[in-house]
A and B are shown apart, each in its own frame.
Chain A
């Protein structure tokens, strides 16, 4: 059937007294159909200044070469690869939400998947830009593709994890883009049909591919989404697995470990959800989407952060144990260096932010506090940046030959590209919430009749429910900042 009521003990996914289908459209499209407010403009100006800095620093790198970075003979990878892995990792949450949670039929993903997928795409753009910059001669990037050339042909080496990475990242980016855009079609059609006439209608008409919402299109659309989710799930796991193999297939102490693939994937989802949290906590407030991105969503994401953060913590412990147990003195020295080496502070940031701070999420009061959640989400992202920095930099700085030990000192170009890439990311995200619906309207409408607060209210008014369950439900509503709790007290 078109709709069915779900158990009363499940918390509502859409709050608010009288949300109708039209109301959902109006709420979601408000930022798209109207001029943005002051908060958006301030954010946009700041972010685009960052993006300008990125353009400048990247152009500088292209002009003068990567000698303008702080790299030296010992440390050939540093902030560039740190930034690359960090951004790719951030991207992973979007696919987790859109694909894995779809397969698990987690309906709460419906309100957050659109913006999380957009975030994935923008994060992968930032990551890919790092790789191209780090090539030094970006116009040579074409040689990473297996194309015929005048040197023989000299083919790419498919035995190299770096080539696997080229395939993984490009596939990941294009499949994510297709998945995201296919999902956007119905919502673009909604904008088109509301636009009246004029340039806006023409643009959205072009972009919506002539979508009408007929039965057959919807039915095929759902098949496509399900299969895309099915293939994106192993894809997203493979991407960070292959990223980790960039390190794990080498002989460098601290990199040469078999735990890397699962450890990297968990870390990626961990940092990705933290970034989703950072973005959505602000977005829901600024765009007034509290009824769709509710406290339930925030808490659910915090639980995933806690889970993946703990997996990362276990991976850290395993790494230490294996370093000790392997008996390899270089391996042991590398791990000691994370605490007592010259960059002990980076190690402390990594373990402190990722493991210790996330354990606070065990407390309900922390998980349900928006301000603390927001701060913690940023702490996690700082921690995850340091994780990659520690893995890459402390390992390289002191490996087998003491005479070649060196430290890395970033130049202004390193710092500018990093800060600039954050600016670029936020610029793209802000443009996204301005011109495209930041919530998948069709998918939210799908759960309106089963999982919304008003549907549950109707269910309670209808009676025949277990009193204990109703009490349980009412109690669960207290945490919601978007529920008028007085409605329930008088009843």
Chain B
């Protein structure tokens, strides 16, 4: 039994990597994940990634922000301490528009980015789970779970055929752990 845990196909070119994904999928080799130094458009469709729901989250946070500040302003200036300023109404809706807008944007931004960090497990000081150090530099890496995906040589051959500049058989999942 081989001790290989993950097989990595390192590509130097994003188009060749896309070709690699096609080739692997045609041969029914499941792909664990793909790591790239830049966003690759169209890859999410190939890998069957669901559409992001962050837009919905952003919208809800925006509604929350706008409602919060408008309610606060109403409570403060109309309910708690109404002031008579030249006989004008205390509930001056047009004057509340700028702050309502600002907090809508503020909540949208922080809520959505917070959700993004939460959903993708990003937070300050998180130990990086890196499969190959060059994946953030100049290599486009296709990772394949080696367990159950045999024979490994066939996968290596497929990756090489697609144009991988290097194929790695890693015994550890993450190289970044000390």
A-side interface residues toward B, CB under 8 Å? 1-3, 20-22, 25, 146, 152-159, 161, 163-164, 167-168, 171, 174-175, 178-179, 182, 185-186, 189-190, 192-194, 205-224, 227-228, 231-232, 234-235, 238, 242, 245, 441-443, 445-446, 449
A-contact 0/1 string along B109-129, CB 8 Å cutoff: 110110011011111111111
| A-side contacts of B72, CB under 8 Å | 146
| B-side contacts of A209, CB under 8 Å | 117, 122-126
The stretch that binds A, out of B1-9, B73-81, B145-153, B154-162, is: B73-81
* CB atoms of B135 and A234 under 8 A apart: no
* CB atoms of B135 and A212 under 8 A apart: yes
**Cβ-neighbour of A218 out of B15, B39, B133 (below 8 A):** B39
Identify the closest chain B residue to A192 (Cβ): B128
Q: Chain B nearest CB: distance from A69 CB in Å?
A: 29
* CB atoms of B40 and A2 under 8 A apart: yes
Task: Identify the interface centre among B13, B112, B127: most chain A CB within 10 Å of its CB.
Answer: B112
**What is the size, in residues, of chain B's interface with A at 8 Å between Cβ atoms?**
70
| A-side contacts of B76, CB under 8 Å | 146, 153, 155-156, 158
* CB atoms of A206 and B106 under 8 A apart: no
* CB atoms of A222 and B128 under 8 A apart: no
**Cβ-neighbour of A208 out of B81, B128, B135 (below 8 A):** B128
Besides the known contacts A215-B33, A220-B120, 12 further A-B residue pairs in the complex with CB atoms under 8 A apart: A146-B76, A153-B81, A171-B105, A175-B109, A193-B130, A205-B127, A219-B52, A221-B39, A221-B120, A222-B39, A224-B54, A227-B108
* CB atoms of A212 and B77 under 8 A apart: no
Residue B42 CB within 8 A of the other chain: yes
Residue B171 CB within 8 A of the other chain: no
A-contact 0/1 string along B81-101, CB 8 Å cutoff: 101010000001001101101
| B-side contacts of A207, CB under 8 Å | 124
| B-side contacts of A218, CB under 8 Å | 36, 38-40
Given A157-B77, A209-B117, A221-B116, also A2-B18 (CB < 8 A): yes
Q: Chain B nearest CB: distance from A174 CB in Å?
A: 7
A–B Cβ pairs within 8 angstroms, 10 of them: A152-B81, A153-B80, A156-B76, A159-B95, A211-B122, A217-B120, A224-B54, A224-B112, A238-B102, A449-B13
**Cβ-neighbour of B113 out of A2, A22, A228 (below 8 A):** A228
Identify the closest chain B residue to A442 (Cβ): B38
A441 to B125, CA, bound (A): 22
* CB atoms of A178 and B113 under 8 A apart: yes
| A-side contacts of B81, CB under 8 Å | 152-155
| A-side contacts of B112, CB under 8 Å | 224, 227-228
| B-side contacts of A215, CB under 8 Å | 33-34, 36, 40, 43-44, 47, 49
A217 to B130, CA, bound (A): 13
| B-side contacts of A221, CB under 8 Å | 39, 116, 120
A185 to B123, CA, bound (A): 11
A186 to B137, CA, bound (A): 10
A159 to B77, CA, bound (A): 9
* CB atoms of A228 and B109 under 8 A apart: yes
| A-side contacts of B163, CB under 8 Å | none
* CB atoms of A210 and B121 under 8 A apart: yes
A336 to B147, CA, bound (A): 83
**Cβ-neighbour of A167 out of B33, B77, B99 (below 8 A):** B99
Given A2-B41, A174-B110, also A238-B98 (CB < 8 A): yes
* CB atoms of A213 and B124 under 8 A apart: no
Residue B27 CB within 8 A of the other chain: no
Identify the closest chain A residue to B99 (Cβ): A167
| B-side contacts of A222, CB under 8 Å | 39
Q: Chain A nearest CB: distance from B138 CB in Å?
A: 4
* CB atoms of B136 and A2 under 8 A apart: no
* CB atoms of A158 and B77 under 8 A apart: yes
* CB atoms of B98 and A164 under 8 A apart: yes
